Amino acid sequence: MPINPNNALKAKHVCYLAGTGGGKTTAVKLFDLVGEQCAIFDLYGDYKYDGRKRGHFNGLGGRAVYHFKTRKQFALAFVEAWRSGKKFVVAYSPEFPKSLKGEQLKKAKQSELYWFGQLMWEAADGNRELHIVIEELAKLSDTVGKDDSIIGELATGGRKFGVVLHTVFQRSQEVPKTIWNNSPRKVLGAQEAQADAKRVAVELDAELRDIYQLSKLNAHYEDERLYYLMKYKGGIGNIEPKVIDLRTGKAKNLTFEQLRAA
């Protein structure tokens, strides 16, 4: 069970939302929102690390990420790293039999996600932050309403135990509202459809023209830089534009005037 509950802790959960190629994982890696002690559920190897190479896309923004394929390997590595009190990033990347297809494969992936989530819940400690990154959560969700799984528990109850949940997905309507509503920080990248842009504009209290603009800019400058809108805390409004220079890996704040004039 998690220990040392602290109701004074602020909610810091983050949702990263963008269409295919819209810069979701780039935002996780380069916006510096992920803390010093982190575990990643990395089904697709988005955070692979090669110690022979350097660069801000290697691992987690250049940080070493150690991947493990079995529950035993990951659990042992995570527990050792967590107990050490030192900085770490470990990732669980389970493998599945090629014979599994469709709903069977989805259920197998869900089982691994829930095991991973339960381990994170058991380790949580209100005296220090544990950052948890889950890629493409929508593909493993069965509901867009209340999430009664351990992932929903991390979203609703994790705050007072130091959990900071980072969830990555393409469309807000595909993810349980339990996750969306309990994540005061949101990072919005390029959208692929007008309907999605209009929906997220209402949900974030953002100007529709700004969402259109960043989507157009990202399509034009996709190899040079990526633009985002970031909701940096809860409440209505509290949104600012940002840009990541893909060549340097550096992120900087913009004004809305700069975004609209770009």
Beta bridge partners of 247: none
> pLDDT digit of tens for each residue in the chain (262 aa)?
899 999 999 999 999 999 877 899 999 999 999 999 999 999 999 999 998 888 999 999 999 999 999 999 999 999 999 999 999 999 999 999 999 999 999 999 999 999 999 999 999 999 999 999 999 888 888 766 677 899 999 999 999 999 999 999 887 777 788 999 999 999 999 888 888 889 889 888 899 999 999 989 998 888 899 999 999 988 888 999 999 999 999 999 999 999 999 8
In the chain the beta strands, taken as DSSP E runs, fall at 14-17, 37-41, 66-68, 88-92, 130-134, 163-169, 185-188, 225-231, 239-245, 250-253
User: Phi and psi dihedrals of 42, rounded to 5?
Assistant: -120, 80
Quick one: tokens of 259? 């975004």
Query: Which residue type occupies 7?
Result: N
pLDDT single digits (tens) 206-246 = 999 999 999 899 988 888 999 999 999 888 889 999 999 99
At the top level of CATH, which class does the domain 28-183 belong to?
A: alpha beta
Q: Residue written as tokens 């949900």?
A: 203
Quick one: tokens of 189? 């990248």
Cα first-last separation, the chain: 50
pLDDT single digits (tens) 179-202 = 999 999 999 998 888 888 898 898
8 Å CB contact between 191 and 23: no
The CATH 3.40.50.300 portion of the chain extends over 28-183
Read off the DSSP letter of residue 257: H
Q: How many Å apart are CA 30 and CA 58, to the nearest integer?
A: 11
If DSSP codes are grouped into helix, strand and coil, which group holds residue 13? coil
| Helix or strand run (H / E) with residue 201 | helix 194-204
8 Å CB contact between 99 and 55: no
